[in-house]
Amino acid sequence: MVAGAGLVTIGSSFVGDVDGWRKGFFIGLALIGGCVNVAVPPIEQVKRDRAHARVQEDRRRELVKAEKAAADMRTAMINAFGPIAYELGVMWNADKGKRDRYHSSIVKSILEAVAQITKHSDDSQVRASFYRLENGSPRSLQPVQFVGRFPGPRTVFVEDTDKGRHMFDVLYARGAQAKGYDLVENFDISPPEGWDPNGGGPYKTYIAAPVIVGKVPCGMLFVDTLKPGELTLIDATITRFFAMLTGAVLADDKKFREFGKMIPANRSGEEAVQ
């Protein structure tokens, strides 16, 4: 715009003072300046329109991506929950005295569902485990079932150790762990309080969610992978849901009902919060 106006001014200023070819030159100069003035605004508008179109296209792609992710999640939940729903139906139709035989199988199906839903790529090495609360002195959380990556978990969370204190805080939703799950996205960068940064084993991210039978904690669902950051807040919410479902299944198990009666809710006698 400024350049065009300058050309028009220069050309107009000299066109009356010269003759011959010089006059033609300055007339041409003024005409070029006029053309620049006319052409520049549309060009700038075209650039703005193109930039706006790129932003809109990026937003549209993000929306499509989000919608696809939501649809994939719904499909995964339906596929994962199908076998569990079937086994629950079989169990509830069985005689009450014969239901206990189904509980272990249903818990395994729950672990398979969690591992399936939290596996975000073909090369993911997810492992989902059920830890049972052992009412010893000191108390401990011990792995009793797992699916996914081999070998199975070997860590036992003993209450009076650094790892154990943290996990029992998660189990009873105490203090900073009152949200009902524990998500460590990158063990190398932010390990749980009191843990040795090099003591997490091969896994680099994990989710722990308490299993509550009635109002008494009886165990933990534990999901871990080898890749830092592979498990997300959505995965933690899903794991918590399946932990609650596990508690509902085990509430029908006589062993866990009797076991729960022997376990103090926690050191102060409070019950767990779901």
pLDDT at residue 15 is higher than 50: no
Mean pLDDT over 227-239 rounds to 93
Range in 95-104, 177-186, 205-214 the model is least confident about: 95-104
Once rounded to an integer, what is the mean pLDDT over residues 12-19?
Answer: 47
Is the pLDDT reported for residue 112 higher than 80? yes
Does residue 250 contact residue 132 with C-beta atoms inside 8 Å?
no
Closest Cα partner for 112 from 153, 76, 142? 76
Q: Name the β-bridge partners of 121.
A: none
Whether residues 112 and 86 share a domain: the answer is: no
Question: Domain of 175?
Answer: 94-262
Residues 26 and 57 in one domain: yes
> Taking residues 194-219, what's their average pLDDT?
83
Q: Indicate the residue among 56, 72, 90 that finishes a domain.
A: 90
Q: Is there a domain that residue 124 lies in?
A: yes
In sequence order, the β-bridge partners of residue 210 are 220
pLDDT cut 70: percent of the chain above it? 72
Domain boundary among 67, 90, 113: 90
Are residues 66 and 201 both part of a single domain?
A: no
Q: Does one domain contain both 65 and 120?
A: no
Q: What is the DSSP letter of 224?
A: E
CATH number of the domain that 187 lies in?
A: 3.30.450.40
What value does the mean pLDDT take over residues 186-213?
A: 83
Query: How many CB atoms are located within 10 Å of the residue 272 CB?
Result: 21
* Residue at 269 is within a domain: no
pLDDT-based confidence at residue 259 (cuts at 50, 70, 90): low
The string of pLDDT tens digits covering residues 21-41 is: 454 444 454 445 555 554 455
pTM: 0.71
pLDDT, tens only, 85-98: 888 888 878 887 77
Q: Do 123 and 81 share a domain, yes or no?
A: no
Higher pLDDT, residue 162 or 246: 246
Mean pLDDT of 47-51: 78
End-to-end CA distance of the chain: 67
Mean pLDDT of 107-117: 94
Query: Where does residue 171 rank: exposed (0-12), middle (13-18), buried (19+ CB within 10 A)?
Result: buried
| In a domain? residue 179 | yes
Residues 163 and 253 in one domain: yes
Number of structural domains, the chain? 2
One domain, residues 76 and 190 = no
Arithmetic mean of pLDDT, 177-192 = 86
Which of residues 90, 123, 140 is at a domain's end?
90
**Mean pLDDT of the 14-19 span:** 47
How far from the centroid of its chain's Cα atoms is residue 163's Cα? 23
